[in-house]
A and B are shown apart, each in its own frame.
Chain A
């Protein structure tokens, strides 16, 4: 799709030229206003490496911009969405409890639909020029971001296994099924509608329907029935040889990792290409763990930062988001020793990094997400077939 990327670059160039002088002035105003503000950054708190990275970023923000960043550790962004909804219902249109939220997918679309977001602001950030717009940074699960959220990192579905038990990994959905039959009771996936479970379904759907362009369009009953038919056939076969005969599923990717470490499963999956490396570092997986993808590619997407409509420190939140988009912060984030979350910036803006074998090989292509409406339809049908 050379035409599309060219036009996008052109668009960015045009907008950045016209905004340059104006924007610099505006931005210094924002930086001024941000001084002394406190940003309550509501972000998932389950990853120690991530928490440490946020601590580091908060320290930098304090030194450079006199902004205080407080990491509000949450378990699920949906809780924060609920909190913001409650604030709106109670008429709290300013001084809300959330200044910046780490979000994507359906939580973003809910916030956007109910007009609970501030903006557009993301594409006016000075560091926006560094962003690799060939990545889906302006589409969040096929929902246009409209500048209401700034990209923070990229993710790609990654499988994890232990080399001492699985020297040559399956390289396609079909190979995975063969492998599962050879090793009954050792393969599973997180239960949909959990994020990772649904992603696994979408991965299979894409691979079993390689030519179907309708996956990028809103779902229709007829297409759904036709395209998902091979998926259910595949799952019926997989479940009969899966962990606990497919009567039970791990709740999350974390539980998958644990079961991989315990030897109950032979394959785990993650949305972070560097997950295996950080799991090894924290001694949660043996050193023989490694990542792999499918030959024809795995699903990838982007995660974002958004500011609620009633945020108290909107300026400081933007300044902090801008810092998080800086080459320095992005490079530090991508560093395996800190977090290992891949950057959203143009490769030319970042220092070269040595590749680690536990990381997903770069030759695994990234597949685009199907249209967001497929998610709900898939989850519903899955629950109907296997949920009880």
Chain B
């Protein structure tokens, strides 16, 4: 049985990830040529884009980590924490691109904030000196990534922090005279880093490879590396393609570099903490700091969302109007129910396949799983092209089955990401106890381990669902353009730049994953109430 399940795990992973990765070998082979690298480095955009990309990806990852932990240390498990938890599904469900669009509505020189203050300064036109979005240092892009990823990390942290021994350690530190804040950073933080390692790497990879958000909020001279790769991969000119292939390799290299830097930092932190000086600090300024942090992570989302909804209803809205002149439902009437249902179906199938596979993989698969996260960092275009090639060879292109398969390459890694931290930190003695009672491993998992992990499992399902809903390129390619989901619809309609359409698509793209997240957290709370002893 055990070896059988191990085979299932390997077979599944090979089918989902191995096949397309195999298809990528020639692409990366070409990218290794010296001539390709010469072409790449000769491009004047690459060096500045490299600095920019590294800066925005590392800054947003580090700050998101600090902010997510700060939220835990400041608010867990008080009322504010519970209120944050209730809002989390909404913020998680907003697709990155939709959030970026909302932020532009909010922050741009002609955006809502400027409109609100324009009467004060008697501005009749947007100020010209103000560069708030698409700034040359990618600060607005970093801010957007930071806010969005903070909630992703918080979602992962919620699963970890519920383990009571962690909070008891914090309590012990407090009885030793340390504030919660100090206890958090000195005692909890170093311990949380380990289970957060993979999610953090995913956040960093996302920051390196994100295209849509960079296009909306990022600078353009030069753009980030991912945008360059995207443009070059889409270029019919073979020499551009070659550059794109090397760039894809460079991005993977940067990820490895980032991971090793992070590991050194982790080691450094432990050395620093190894000789406690015993300095107790008083908690100063929390009355300002707490609301500040709370509103920093919630207000931008609520404002962006409100602006998205307003724009979706706006019938003409020009500077310096604070509210649209007219409201109407015209734009909404074109939304199609059929695509919504199809999207729902594909996403549900994706998680129904990924979940058992992820659980089997975690129990019987390989513990070293770095390569599983490759799809999160490889530029989507060549990976998707490889998937399409396989679908063509198998004569499955344009079929629902193939589209679902293509989504799994992203859904499975993200689900593993959310699950693995909680999975590995679960007390191994539960499983051992069940085995000593005479149960086989799979039975012990089915009856004991997996029910114990129900909450992280639900969290992973919600994330997987959202990931599937957001897939654009694989749906378009593997579906041969014949399968329409809300994402293909949203991206193609958005290319026209009509803000009302853009806003509607963004709201639609938020609604479906939101249902998933609400369902997951609702079930999770219900389960926790029924089993109060469960962590």
Contact = CB atoms under 8 A, between A and B. Distances in A.
Interface of A: 40, 42, 44-48, 70, 72-76, 78-83, 86-87, 89-92, 97-98, 106-107, 109-111, 184-186, 191, 193, 243-244, 247-249, 251-255, 257-259, 261-264, 282-284, 286, 376, 383-384, 386-388
Interface in B307-330: 315-316, 318-320
A83 B388 contact: yes
Given A40-B482, A185-B129, A249-B220, 13 more contacts: A42-B481, A78-B234, A82-B233, A82-B381, A83-B388, A253-B497, A254-B496, A254-B497, A263-B318, A264-B125, A284-B316, A286-B316, A388-B49
B427 interface: no
A74 B492 contact: yes
B492 A97 contact: no
Contact of A259 (B45, B110, B392, B398): B110
A263 B125 contact: yes
Nearest to A185: B128
Contact of B392 (A90, A106, A109, A110): A90
22 contacts: A40-B481, A44-B495, A45-B495, A46-B494, A70-B482, A74-B492, A76-B234, A82-B234, A83-B477, A87-B388, A87-B392, A92-B392, A191-B221, A248-B135, A249-B220, A255-B497, A258-B499, A263-B319, A264-B109, A282-B500, A376-B237, A387-B44
Q: Which 5 A-B pairs have the closest CB atoms?
A: A254-B497, A185-B128, A46-B496, A110-B236, A97-B480
Interface string B236-252: 11000000000000000
Interface string B466-499: 0000000000110011101000110111111111
B66 interface: no
A73 B485 CA distance: 11
A47 to B, nearest CB: 5
Contact of B131 (A78, A244, A384): A244
A106 to B, nearest CB: 6
Contacts of A46: 492-497
B219 A248 contact: yes
B221 A388 contact: yes
A253 B498 CA distance: 11
B44 A388 contact: yes
B62 interface: no
A377 B221 CA distance: 18
Interface string B39-83: 000011101110000000000000000000000000000000000
B491 A75 contact: yes
Contacts of A387: 44-45, 221-222
A98 B126 contact: no
Interface in B381-406: 381, 385, 388-389, 392-393, 397-398
B482 A251 contact: no
Nearest to A380: B43
A76 B316 CA distance: 27
B374 interface: no
B20 to A, nearest CB: 12
A13 to B, nearest CB: 36
Contact of A86 (B129, B315, B389, B482): B389
A45 B492 contact: yes
Contact of A184 (B109, B128, B393, B489): B128
Q: Which of A73, A110, A243, A376 has the most CB of B within 10 A?
A: A73
Contact of B236 (A81, A248, A252): A81
B213 to A, nearest CB: 13
Contacts of A261: 318-319
Contact of A191 (B129, B220, B392): B220
A248 B389 contact: no
Contact of A284 (B109, B494, B499): B499
B136 interface: yes
| A interface secondary structure, majority | mixed
B509 interface: no
Nearest to A193: B231
B64 to A, nearest CB: 25
B204 to A, nearest CB: 24
B235 interface: yes
Contacts of B219: 247-248
A258 B493 contact: no
Contacts of A286: 316, 318
Contact of B215 (A82, A109, A243, A251): A251
B510 interface: no
B417 interface: no
Contacts of A98: 481
A252 B47 CA distance: 24
Contact of B385 (A40, A86, A262): A86
A186 B128 contact: yes
Tell me if B's interface is mostly helix, strand, loop or mixed. Answer: loop
Contact of A254 (B482, B484, B495): B495
Contacts of A106: 236-237
A262 B7 CA distance: 58
A248 B221 contact: yes
A200 to B, nearest CB: 15
Given A73-B492, A97-B397, A247-B221, A258 B45 contact: no
B420 interface: no
B108 interface: yes
Contacts of B319: 261-263
B482 A263 contact: no
B481 A97 contact: yes
B501 interface: yes
A358 to B, nearest CB: 15
Nearest to A38: B482
Nearest to A256: B497
Contacts of B131: 244, 248
B134 interface: yes
Given A48-B498, A86-B385, A258-B497, A73 B489 contact: yes
A328 to B, nearest CB: 25
Contacts of A262: 108, 110, 126, 318-319
B108 to A, nearest CB: 7
B292 to A, nearest CB: 30
B357 to A, nearest CB: 26
Contact of A386 (B221, B237, B389, B496): B221
A201 B220 CA distance: 17
A48 B501 contact: yes
A75 B495 contact: yes
Contacts of B128: 184-186, 243
Interface string B113-150: 00000000000011011010011100000000000000
B316 to A, nearest CB: 4
Nearest to B494: A46
A386 B476 CA distance: 34
Contacts of B45: 383, 387-388
A264 B115 CA distance: 12
A93 B11 CA distance: 31
A283 B231 CA distance: 31
A83 B398 CA distance: 12
Contacts of A44: 492, 495
Nearest to B219: A248
A383 B233 CA distance: 17
Contact of A264 (B47, B110, B231, B493): B110
Interface in B208-241: 215, 219-222, 231, 233-237
A42 B497 CA distance: 19
B316 A283 contact: yes
Nearest to A43: B492
Nearest to A73: B492
Q: Which of A76, A89, A386 has the most CB of B within 10 A?
A: A89
B493 A282 contact: no
Contact of B496 (A47, A80, A243, A244): A47
